[in-house]
Amino acid sequence: MQWGQIKTLFILCFLILNIFLLHHFINNPTRELEYTEDMPREENVRNNVSGLDNIPEETPEKESMLHAQRMEFTEEDVTEIIGLPNQNNVIIDDHLIVSQLESPLAINVEEDTETLSEHVWNLDKYEYFGKDEQTNTHIFFQKIDRPIYFNLSGVLLIQENQQNEVIYYVQTILEKAEEQTEQEEEINKPFDALTGLYFSDGNIVSGDEITKKVALGYHNLLPLPNGVQVLAPTWEFEVNEEEFFYVNAVESHYTMREKHAFIVEMKEQIEEYFGEGNSSAVIAPEDWEEGDLDRLLEQLLENIEQTNGVE
């Protein structure tokens, strides 16, 4: 075979190969782009973040917003609350319970829920979150189908003294608003939410660990002091047992919350209720004598001030 024929054969072979590659590229552009851009991000997270077994594999595809409002207590509710044993309590503006125990209660707050439920109204509507060691305060989040994260209107704070005995608690509660949206929206997967945290602003970095089962709850980035709140489905991430990130499962924006800052915010709100010139309505036991309420409020404020820095 002459050299010219061999050269022509090579040219034809390369021409056929180029036509095949061009045809493959035109008909499969998305698959190639998906592989080159998405796979490295996922692999990066899997290679650098531990505790990924805490991310659930089966999750809902759609969820709806929760419309909630402060629960205002009925006369029956007030009777039950005022009648709880071993405590002096007051109800402020029909939604905030502040209770001082007559004698400290020596129990394991996280585990002895049976004893605690005898002293706290509707304890079964709350879920234990954790303890702020700086103030010796236990945090319970309210549940409406799912936990509601860091909401001043749906929380139970239980305060211990230096001997780890319960001395007082503060409680608020939400209820579903009459108007609820039936429309469900697609939500993102928890791993996608984690990937977003990893690649944004250094919130989660190489070597970090997811230290708790990732859960779906509700969160409001701007809790309203009054009226109806629109709470969005939200993924909760606990990182290194000390940091808490909340990723909106619909819109993917996120926030970081701290236990201590939340407790301080709640205590400051209570101090405002008890401050001079405040006109909030206060319900106390009917058999109290004149001066009993002032003495209780004085004791509560003193305890709040003393426990703001308990270690």
pTM over 0.85: no
Q: Bigger pLDDT: 228 or 254? A: 254
* Domains held by the chain: number: 2
Domain co-membership, 247 together with 208: yes
pLDDT category, 28, cuts 50, 70, 90?
Answer: very low
| Helical segments of 182-258, H only | 190-198
Task: Report whether pLDDT(213) > 80.
Answer: yes
Task: Please indicate, yes or no, whether residues 72 and 162 belong to a single structural domain of this protein.
Answer: yes
Do 77 and 118 belong together in one domain?
Answer: yes
User: Are 61 and 72 part of one and the same domain?
Assistant: no
Which among 257, 289, 306 is the end of a domain? 257
212-223: average pLDDT: 86
Neighbour tally for 90: CB within 10 Å: 22
In a domain, 245, yes or no: yes
In a domain, 3, yes or no: no
Strands (E), 188-273: 215-219, 229-239, 243-248, 254-257
pLDDT digits (tens, 9 = 90+) for 278-293: 777 788 777 776 666 6
Torsion sign, CA atoms 283, 287, 292, 298: negative
Q: Which domain holds residue 74?
A: 68-176+260-297
Give the model's pLDDT for residue 188.
95
We report the CATH number of the domain holding residue 111 as 3.30.310.160
Dihedral class, residue 221 (left if φ above 0, else alpha if ψ from -120 to 50, else beta): alpha
pLDDT range class, residue 311, cuts 50, 70, 90: very low
Same domain, 238 and 143: no
Confidence grade of residue 19 (pLDDT, cut at 50, 70, 90): low
**Within this chain, do residues 224 and 279 fall inside the same structural domain, yes or no?**
no
